[in-house]
């Protein structure tokens, strides 16, 4: 929760100009330069006094004596919560994003597009989680006889995820029997959540007294494995190399730890999980992430949905001096356009 700060209009303006300058140049901002940026008709001494008060509040810091000041984590948080005015997304950026979510793409392609387009437009690292993928729905079931008492099971999950699974059966089945088994399974499973339909079918198999019960039980086990694979937690990342352009992140030890986070994924998935309850864009600055390796980074994320259910979070990772007023609208519109594209699929 944001701490309460009593800042008059001059102090707010100076803090905002300091953050804008530091975001752009990555250099501590001196009082004389701040006076020029703000346009205030006050002396440098007055500005120094205001800066000293902001420093006492913990909103700015002096990295070196007489070297100007830089915003602190608390300063960024106050700026975002109280002073930030987000920019309107440029028409060119909106076109680039919207054109990436064409209707002819599969769900997987759309989600992969989101991570790459976020990286491309913001020049930061784009991230997309699939942590809360919607329950798997079976759309099509088909059997094909192979040799040596093997049957090929062809499954279509969630519209466009095609899986082929070879199962071993206890006896030879005719094409008619396999067709009957496929029809029975289709009756129970197609268009329904796999887990719910599977339980119902298992309860009724004993009553069917069918010669194909054994193959259906085998198929259900195979489908369980496939459906589990189709909803596993995952994280897509793109543009990690963009972070090399920011001097504050180029320390070799910081880079090693940061890229380990991208490779291992677990911590980022936990972090993005914190955005799933957000109604819009969520921002973690430095230590707010809860992970020491991200203390020099900010994460901006927003959830996306399918059929009213949150199925993942997308966003960007960059230094704390992200141009928030520009990046926040990009993350927001990308989440909305991805949601729209996923829900437009039939």
Structural domain count, the chain: 3
CATH code of 51's domain:
1.10.10.10
Q: Looking at the structure, do residues 98 and 69 belong to the same domain, yes or no?
A: no
Q: Domain for residue 258, yes or no?
A: yes
Provide Rg for the chain, Cα atoms. Answer: 27
Q: Looking at the structure, do residues 217 and 291 belong to the same domain, yes or no?
A: no
Q: What's the CA angle centered on 310, arms 309 and 315, to 5 degrees?
A: 155
Q: Looking at the structure, do residues 254 and 122 belong to the same domain, yes or no?
A: yes
Give me the domain span that covers residue 68: 9-83
Task: Report which of 253, 246, 271, 255 is spatially closest to residue 321, judged by C-alpha positions.
Answer: 246
Q: Domain for residue 336, yes or no?
A: yes
Q: Domain for residue 1, yes or no?
A: no
Q: Looking at the structure, do residues 64 and 74 belong to the same domain, yes or no?
A: yes
Q: Looking at the structure, do residues 252 and 332 belong to the same domain, yes or no?
A: yes
Taken as a whole, the chain contains a residue count of: 346
Q: Domain for residue 2, yes or no?
A: no
Q: Domain for residue 3, yes or no?
A: no
Q: Looking at the structure, do residues 68 and 158 belong to the same domain, yes or no?
A: no
pLDDT tens for the chain, residues 1 to 346: 456 778 899 999 999 999 999 999 888 998 888 888 888 888 888 988 999 999 999 999 988 766 789 999 999 999 999 999 888 888 888 888 988 887 777 777 888 899 999 999 999 999 998 754 555 677 888 888 888 888 888 878 766 677 788 888 888 888 888 888 888 888 877 777 666 677 777 777 666 656 566 677 777 776 666 555 444 458 889 999 999 989 888 888 888 888 888 888 888 888 888 788 777 899 999 999 888 889 999 999 999 988 888 888 999 999 999 999 999 999 999 999 999 988 886 5
């Amino acid at each position: 929760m944001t701490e309460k700060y009593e800042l008059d209009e001059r102090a707010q303006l100076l803090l905002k100009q300091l953050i804008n300058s530091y975001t752009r140049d990555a250099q501590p901002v001196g009082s004389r330069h701040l006076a020029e940026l703000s346009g205030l008709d006050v002396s440098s001494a007055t500005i120094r006094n205001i800066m000293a008060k902001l420093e006492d509040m913990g909103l700015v810091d002096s990295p070196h004596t007489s070297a100007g000041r830089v915003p602190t984590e608390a300063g960024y948080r106050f700026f975002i919560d109280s002073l930030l005015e987000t920019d309107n997304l440029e028409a060119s950026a909106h076109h680039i994003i919207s054109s990436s979510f064409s209707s002819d793409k599969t769900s997987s392609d759309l989600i992969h597009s989101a991570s790459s387009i976020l990286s491309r437009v913001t020049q930061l690292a784009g991230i997309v989680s699939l942590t809360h993928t919607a329950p798997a729905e079976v759309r099509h079931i088909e059997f094909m006889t192979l040799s040596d008492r093997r049957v090929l099971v062809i499954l279509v999950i969630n519209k466009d995820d095609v899986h082929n699974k070879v199962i071993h059966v206890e006896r030879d089945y005719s094409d008619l029997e396999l067709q009957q088994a496929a029809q029975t399974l289709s009756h129970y499973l197609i268009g329904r959540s796999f887990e719910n339909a599977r339980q119902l079918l298992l309860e009724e198999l004993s009553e069917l007294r069918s010669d194909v019960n054994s193959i259906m039980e085998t198929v259900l086990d195979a489908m369980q494995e496939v459906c589990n694979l189709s909803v596993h937690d995952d994280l897509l990342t793109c543009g990690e190399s963009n972070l090399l352009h920011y001097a504050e992140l180029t320390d070799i030890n910081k880079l090693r730890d940061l890229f380990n986070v991208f490779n291992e994924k677990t911590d980022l998935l936990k972090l993005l999980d914190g955005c799933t309850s957000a109604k819009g864009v969520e921002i973690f600055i430095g230590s707010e992430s809860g992970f020491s390796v991200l203390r020099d980074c900010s994460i901006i994320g927003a959830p996306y949905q399918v059929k009213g259910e949150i199925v993942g979070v997308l966003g960007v990772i960059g230094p704390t001096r992200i141009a928030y007023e520009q990046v926040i609208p990009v993350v927001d519109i990308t989440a909305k356009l991805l949601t729209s594209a996923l829900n437009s699929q039939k």
